[in-house]
Amino acid sequence: MKSLRRNWAVHLMLVVGAISFLLPFYWMLNTSLKGPTELALSPPSWWPAMPRFENYPDAWHAVPFPRYFLNTILVAGSIVVGVVVTSGLSAFAFSFFRFRGREGMFNTFLSTMMVPEPVYIISSYILLFNLPGGGRDGWIDNYSALIVPWLAHVFSIFLLRQHFLSFPPDLVDAAVIDGCGPVRFLFSMVLPLSKAALTTVCLFTFINTWNSFLWPLVMTNSDSIRPIQVGLAFFASEQGTEHGLMMAAAVFSIAPLLIAYFFAQKQIIESLTHTGLKG
């Protein structure tokens, strides 16, 4: 009897927890469908009496959201491809080759993980500002400032190296005896055997890039470059009182990732918890 009652208490708390995690999402949806009269109600209503679906197209066209999405997809897509290539190649070198300076190089890479983004964002700005080949302000306010510095990711290298080291050493010998060179070995043996690890890297990189805020906030000035999070933040500060439009914009900006999460939650949870989180 006692354990049954205790079980009820546990379930009650778990349900209360679930509600407190879901409620803000419901509130976002609820508010996003309210018209001006309902938004002014105090206390606020729990569901929109007269759903105003026009909030969505209105918000979508109020500022260039299509452009922000396009920018985000372009930036996140390039970074995912870049990170997979650079981490795959360097992890391959770290795990299957012997050379002088290997450990030193690897440890140097690892040590950069101790330095968080706000620490180097100022000096990165100065560096990017002074690089040739961009616009008036160097690479600032240019896609290259959003993409190029993020094309390599130390933790992905670490993760892939861990995975590569789990391969039996005989695999290399067998491949070499069969006349396989390093490039073919990488592409026809190592990578096909690393699909799970590569998926982890891709998901993590994509999600973190999609959600990153401080870096693009600092490195962009114009609408044509701005990714979705910065666009959304500016929209929020400009339309501070239009709660319906703001919440509609919040909904469609989180929708792509939440839909992806719905289909691949197990992989996404694993990917994010294995590789760490960014603010």
Question: DSSP letters along 19-81, please?
Answer: HHHHHHHHHHHHHHT--HHHHT-SSPPSS-SS--TTHHHHHHHHTTHHHHHHHHHHHHHHHHH
Q: Is residue 133 a contact residue for other proteins (CB under 8 A)?
A: no
CB of 195 to other proteins, least distance (A): 20
Residues 171-210 interacting with other proteins (rule: CB under 8 A): 172-173, 176, 181-182, 185, 207, 210
Q: Is residue 92 a contact residue for other proteins (CB under 8 A)?
A: yes
The Cα-based distances of 76 to 20, 21, 32, 205, 208 in angstroms read 31, 27, 27, 8, 9
What is the residue type of 54?
Answer: E
Of these, 8, 36, 37, 44, which contacts other proteins (CB under 8 A)?
44
The window from 52-60, 62-70, 87-95, 191-199 that contacts other proteins (CB under 8 A) reads: 87-95
**How close are the terminal C-alpha atoms of the chain, in Å?**
45
Q: Is residue 48 a contact residue for other proteins (CB under 8 A)?
A: no
* Element of type H or E holding 31: helix 2-32
Could you tell me how many residues of this chain bind other proteins (CB under 8 A)? 102
Of these, 62, 70, 121, 191, which contacts other proteins (CB under 8 A)?
121
CB 203 within 8 A of CB 271: yes
Token duo for residue 167: 């391969």
Q: Is residue 40 a contact residue for other proteins (CB under 8 A)?
A: yes
Of these, 73, 74, 189, 254, which contacts other proteins (CB under 8 A)?
254
The window from 48-56, 60-68, 110-118, 193-201 that contacts other proteins (CB under 8 A) reads: 110-118
Of 133 and 169, the one with the shorter C-beta distance to other proteins is: 169
